[in-house]
Structure 1
Amino acid sequence: MTLPDHHLTTGEKRIRSFHPHWKRMVVPFIALVLIVLAFGAALFFIPSTWQYAFYGRVAAGVIAVLLLTVWSFVPYLQWRNTGYVLTSHRFTISTGVLNKSTDEIPLTKVNSVSSDQTFFERILGCGTLTVESASDEGQLVLRDIPRIQDVRADLFRAVEDISDGQVDGQ
């Protein structure tokens, strides 16, 4: 996904790789449907007998493509190109479409891991993960993490294993 296997260090194992929760794509999907419906309505209501009908349809198409790009395609690319990787040694957060930004938190620097879920997020099984580390940045707040309780448990288990000098419970 965002951290190829050949970038793992010796003895490092991938525990979990994931994207933000799909709920981030609900608004872009609704925008996609509304833009397509509006474009269809524009094509339907532009009379074919109008002398500028061709230009009106082209203009409607250009506007629809621009709106789809800004409100649907770009958010999809941002969602798709945001990835989280938990390994036995580090937690990596990678973001960016054209430019890539990667943050890595060594598990030895993690002080605490907590999660927060609203009622709606509990229904969807996602939430906000807060990782407090002994670095300059202090707290890292990650929103819309899918299967938040499983991720939190895996992260906590990996932190405990690394602090005990163990890897994967061994």
Structure 2
Amino acid sequence: MAYPDGLLGEDEHVVVHRHPHWKMLVLPVVVLFVVAGGGSYAAALIAPTSWHVIGWSALAVVGAVLLVWLTLAPVVRWRTTHFVITTHRLMVREGVFTRSGVDIPMSRINSVRFRHGFVDRLLGCGTLVVESAADEPLEFDDIPDVERVHTLLYREVNQDWSRDRDAGQEW
């Protein structure tokens, strides 16, 4: 899914567009299976009782609440989180009902680092650390293919610096 072109400047192009790594969805999927399996088992235990309709209704309500809260909400949160590198800036957008975002112009980025532990290396993700004019470095967790993203961001920062330098020489 491409980032909406209407949110970009005239000569701005998307270099990288990522959602967080799929490892964020492992726990919600496990919860889905546990709730479905546990609910089915509890429904089978309630079936021979005289109050089985009320018990099944209560199980359905509790199961639905758990699935919405612990499975659907994280999936929607994952889907609506965007990490975007363009030719002019680094953008992060997240949130479902209340959206928040961070934009860092390429000219303000001082350094770019990444780190990933053993499990992250196996899964192909990591944390991207961006130091800018802000007080503290910004850390973006669970970036898929973090080494490649790091390289592309570093390349864009250097190209932006070269463009600024070349523009200054024309004056």
TM-score range, shorter chain: over 0.9
Identity %: 34
Q: Report the counterpart of residue 161 of structure 2 in structure 1.
A: 163
- Checking the alignment, whether the CA contact within 8 Å between 2:3 and 2:14 is kept in structure 1 is no
How many angstroms does 1:52 deviate by?
1.0
Which ranges of 4 or more aligned residues in structure 1 deviate by more than 2 Å?
A: none
Q: How does 1:147-162 map to 2 (within 5 A)?
A: 147-162=145-160
Q: Which residue of 1 aligns with 2:137?
A: 139
Q: Determine the C-alpha separation between the residues in 2 that align with 1:9 and 1:47.
A: 61
| TM-score normalized by the length of structure 2 | 0.92
CA distance in 1, matches of 2:7, 2:107: 19
Q: Which residue does the alignment assign to 1:105?
A: 104
CA distance in 2 between counterparts of 1:122 and 1:46 reads 46
Q: Indicate the residue corresponding to 1:118 in structure 2.
A: 117
Cα deviations by residue, 1:87-110 (Å, 9 ceiling, x for unpaired): 000010000011111110001000
1:110-146: per-residue Cα shift (whole Å, max 9, x none)?
00000001001001110000000013x4311000000
TM-score, structure 1 normalization = 0.92
Which structure's residues are more often helix, by fraction? 2
Q: Say whether the 8 Å CA contact 1:2–1:83 is kept in structure 2.
A: no
For 1:16, the equivalent position in structure 2 comes to 16
Q: Distance in 2 between matches of 1:18 and 1:8?
A: 16
Any unmatched runs of 5+ in structure 1?
none
TM-align CA RMSD:
1.3
Unaligned runs of 5+ in 2: 165-171
Structure 2 distance, partners of 1:66, 1:80, is 20
SS in 1 for 2:30: helix
Alignment length (residue pairs): 164
SS in 2 for 1:164: helix
Structure 1 Cα separation of the partners of residues 128 and 61 of structure 2: 40
Letter in 1 for 2:74: P
Match in the other structure for 1:87: 86
CA contact (8 A) 1:110 1:132 kept: yes
